[in-house]
Structure 1
Amino acid sequence: MSGREVIGSFLKLSNIHSYKQYRLRCENLWKEYFGDQFEKIVL
């Protein structure tokens, strides 16, 4: 399976709401790990 297929099947199994929660959780982990560096990279 390619990355695109994995993402596609994941999106089919989950709804938009849970995907947003998953993204927010990942973003929070990045912020905790990188701190101010994360803000500089994104912004």
Structure 2
Amino acid sequence: MRLEPVELTELEYASKREKDARVKERILLVMLVKKDGW
């Protein structure tokens, strides 16, 4: 089965958004830890 370019682009976009969300989560976590002084 051959993926259409549009489907591939949507898959790549979804995985990129997931990575961005994880990065933001980690940044927020680090900021909270620093604020609490751990």
> For the aligned residues, what is the CA RMSD?
1.8
Gaps of at least 5 residues in structure 2 are: 27-38
Larger Rg: 1 or 2? 2
Gaps of at least 5 residues in structure 1 are: 1-11, 38-43
- 3-state SS, counterpart of residue 13 of structure 1: coil
Structure 1 residue 13, shift from structure 2 partner: 1.4
Is residue 27 of structure 1 aligned with residue 28 of structure 2?
no
User: Which structure has more RCO (C-alpha within 8 Å, separation ≥ 6)?
Assistant: 1
TM-score normalized with structure 1 length: 0.50
Which aligned segments of 4 or more residues in structure 1 are displaced greater than 3 angstroms?
A: none
Whole-Å separation in 1 of the counterparts to 2:4 and 2:20: 25
TM-score normalized with structure 2 length: 0.56
